[in-house]
Structure formats: structure tokens, C-alpha cells
Amino acid sequence: MLIYLDNCCFNCPFDDQSQLKIRLETEAKLDIQEKVKLGEFSLC
């Protein structure tokens, strides 16, 4: 699967994780990043 991530998502881990929405976005970004590392996804 080919994935596009907007540049702003790469800052998610550095945002205030006390807010649920931000924490969920961060977890999703990290999950996608792991799948890219494993070769399941490709970034465009």
C-alpha cells in the first residue's frame, strides 16, 4: 500500500499527549511508521 503522510504528522510525537485526539493521532502515525519499516506500506 502506498501512503502519503503530511509533514505535520511527523511532529505528533512531540505534541501535548495529554489530549486524547493528539495521542490517538500519534499512535496511528507510529503504527504506520512501523509498517513502513517492515515493508508493509510504502511512503510516497
Alpha helices in 1-44 (DSSP H): 20-38
Q: Specify the residue for cell string 515493508.
A: 39
pLDDT for res 10: 87
Domain boundaries, the chain: 2-43
pLDDT for res 9: 86
Residue type, 31: D
pLDDT for res 33: 93
pLDDT in tens, 1-44: 898 988 888 888 899 999 999 999 999 999 999 999 999 999 98
